[in-house]
A and B are shown apart, each in its own frame.
Chain A
């Protein structure tokens, strides 16, 4: 309780701690993880604070096991999360795929560092953006959120927990080393200002219950272990009851459901933050810590009377397609700034269909891009 009262004050918080506190505020019950830079502070904070609320923290033997334990706990009724960085995110992909298939609410925080492989443990990168979308094998749709400030780390972790519960799916929070380790001044919302969503529970008697019921919402009510429903969960493609199937119709129904529960709800899921877009003729498209530099660059440009605005997708996946299609009608140029060799820029191009000039600016040397670099590029390409 003491922690919750404190949230009203101004605090100097690290992004990783804000993420952990967001998870607690959203009702986290269970965390399983494995130490990895630069995400370790999330685990350390929760090891200390989660049990205060009666929650459980466990350090597993690796990231594969961490994701597995998160899924097991969620099926037993807990709101569950893990946090890692690139190498661990790669190991988790096996069971993240399981969570998509078995429709298990779960949150995976990836505090990105440079890759591939062990890469740059203490340096910033945004090179896991495509991995967040396509990291595990098979067809599925994913939800991935990307904060750009300490406060957004808190808010988007709350949102990730809520979306995971609402849509029975894993949700990825893509942070990065700069955000995770940065400290800035924040005021956190009061508990009564935070909307917490819990999973939809079945009301039918057990004999009528279908754990993967096909319905118009594309999201099935979710019973938990030990409450009389005695359902089966499997990573094999399954029928609505959760039993392995090889029937074509049931296979297609299942895969359609995984896609539709995201696609039919994009209006609820997708969020884009705009700055200075009212009169903008060109825009910078940036997310995560790169959006911070973009904000500054835009202010520098506005002083020079360049009509530029910021498009910052909070939701990296699903990609804000409709919004970007709309923008392609009214903008002359979009500059996509990323701390990788160019990942989301391909989505911007795909949805733009050649209507707008798309330019990209990439930095992938372990340092965050500077406002000057963006400003100069903007002057060059606008």
Chain B
């Protein structure tokens, strides 16, 4: 039987949803982000996933709950950050965002935007143009999320991406991250 602190606090939590369709590597991206935040940056994190039967196509999402305190309920409900890599995901989840939540979409694939501030980046197009493959669009997006929100440190993210990337694709994935950082930097410049 456990004894407990009488002092009860509900720590601030930060909720992230990475959404899109099967095959876009969202569960992988969620795992990478969770490890970077949890193990390398030392915060508490719970990552869950929701997906259909399809390995390719079909809705897919990965939720992260980040907190300095204990995390009990592991799903994201009031999103601080939503990444939508498909129109369907954008339509379905943008209402779950907090009022001041951040919506990031892949502008290559999402063109009908909800009535709110949206940050669009051509993740898939950039991955295709610069790295000759759309499959690292998820990692490009992670780079942008990292640079824009500071929810995860760049160093941690680079280390985990290199560690978790399939053998032989470490460079490719690190380049994808750099592209993501770059996209965010350009945006900030423009905003200024």
The interface of chain A, by Cβ under 8 A from chain B, is: 10-12, 37, 121-123, 178, 181-185, 272-277, 289, 292-293, 295-296, 299-300, 302-303, 367-368, 370-372
Contacts and interface: CB of A to CB of B under 8 A. Distances in A.
Contacts of A277: 1
Contacts of B101: none
Interface residues of B, number: 27
B12 interface: no
Contacts of B10: 296, 299-300, 303
B23 interface: no
Contacts of A300: 10
25 contacts: A10-B39, A12-B31, A12-B38, A12-B45, A122-B52, A123-B50, A182-B74, A183-B31, A183-B48, A184-B71, A184-B74, A273-B1, A274-B2, A275-B4, A277-B1, A293-B72, A295-B70, A295-B72, A299-B72, A300-B10, A302-B8, A303-B10, A367-B75, A371-B72, A372-B77
A121 B39 contact: no
Given A12-B35, A184-B71, A302-B8, A370 B77 contact: yes
- Of all A-B residue pairs in the complex, the 7 with the closest CB atoms, nearest first, are A296-B72, A295-B72, A183-B47, A12-B35, A185-B38, A184-B46, A292-B72
A178 B70 CA distance: 17
Interface in B18-63: 31, 34-35, 38-39, 44-53
Contacts of A10: 38-39
Contacts of B51: 122
A302 B72 CA distance: 15
A11 B53 contact: no
A11 B51 CA distance: 24
Contacts of B48: 178, 181-183
Contacts of B46: 182-184
A183 to B, nearest CB: 4
A280 B156 CA distance: 43
A176 to B, nearest CB: 12
Contact of B74 (A122, A123, A178): A178
A275 B49 CA distance: 28
A302 B39 CA distance: 30
Given A12-B35, A178-B48, A300-B10, A293 B2 contact: no
B38 A184 contact: yes
Contacts of A303: 8, 10
A11 B49 CA distance: 18
Given A11-B39, A184-B38, A299-B8, A292 B2 contact: no
Given A183-B47, A292-B72, A293-B72, 15 more contacts: A12-B35, A37-B53, A122-B51, A122-B52, A122-B53, A182-B48, A183-B48, A184-B45, A184-B47, A185-B39, A274-B1, A292-B74, A299-B72, A300-B10, A371-B72
Nearest to B74: A182
B22 to A, nearest CB: 11
A112 B52 CA distance: 16
B73 A370 contact: yes
